[in-house]
Structure formats: structure tokens, C-alpha cells
Amino acid sequence: MKDHLRQLFNKCIEQGSDEEIRALGHVLEGIEKKIDKTILQYVDGLLHMDRVIDKEKKTCVITIPINPLINNSLDIVHGGITATLLDTAMGSLAISGLPDGYTAVTSQLNIHYIAPGIGDSLCCKAEVIHQGSKTSVISGEVYRNDGKKVAYATGTFFTIQK
């Protein structure tokens, strides 16, 4: 397996365009964070998430850089990446309000896409609408670095025992 990966890596480095090499570097830097245990999930590393949860204010803010790896064929951020950003911020917030031994899973996610994800970065801010013993309702908004709103979402998260 390692020999195959070395061959694949060398081919990408030798034949890849500057954009493809930048994308590969982005992926490798994310995996390095997982190896170094500075992140828990691969998706955090893949998207280079910078996450801040404020339990007192009941908010979560996640910022990610925009790079070719997360763009679609129109050269804008893929809607699935925006959805992942929203789900991660809102889910992180739902989990942060739970007692030890419990977690939350997404049971419903409703997203309104408003503008294309372009620029240098996206920032998602999630806020608690309702946190009950069985479900939480969270809202989230994603903004480009120029301040334009990209998407708005609400989500319901079901509380489960770990």
C-alpha cells in the first residue's frame, strides 16, 4: 500500500498543475493535524477548520479557508462543503450544551443558499434557538470574507447516550 501511495504521490508532484499541487498540500496538511492529534476528525483537517465555542453565549464560530479543493466546476465553494460547515458548527454547539455521556446527531437540516462561496474564507456562526432534554434547534449563517451572506440554515439535533 505504501509503495502504491509513494508512486501516486510522485506522479501528482511531477505531473500536477500548481493548483493540483496546492490542493494536495492542503489535504496533507489536514492529515498531519490528525496525526499530531491537534484535531479529532479528518473533516476538520480537510477543511482546516478554526472552531471557537462560547458556551456562555451559546455560539460556535468556524472559519475555513477557500481553496480549489473545495470548489465545484463553477469555481465556487461546493454546496456540500457549505452544508458540512453549517452541520459541523451547529452540531458542535448542540453537543457542547449536553452533560457528560451524551452526544447529539443531526435529525434535520434545512439550508437556504443565498450567494456563491467565493473569496479567501468562509465563516459560519451558529446559535442555539432551543436546547431541550431530547432535541436542540440551532441556526447557522455562513458569510464570505467580504461580509456577504452565503447561506442560512436551521437544524434539529437529537440527543443520544454515547
The CATH number assigned to the domain holding 157 equals 3.10.129.10
73 located within any domain: yes
Say what the pLDDT of residue 37 is: 86
121 located within any domain: yes
66 located within any domain: yes
Cα separation, 90 vs 138, whole angstroms:
6
CB 139 within 8 A of CB 116: no
- Best CA proximity match to 29, nearest among 71, 3, 4, 64: 64
Structural domain for 96, as ranges: 43-161
22 located within any domain: no
Q: What is the pLDDT of residues 56-81, one digit of tens each?
A: 999 999 999 999 999 999 999 999 99
Instruction: Count structural domains, the chain.
Output: 1
21 located within any domain: no
Q: What is the pLDDT of residues 19-38, one digit of tens each?
A: 888 889 989 998 999 899 88
List 31's β-bridge partners, or say none.
none
36 located within any domain: no
pTM: 0.91
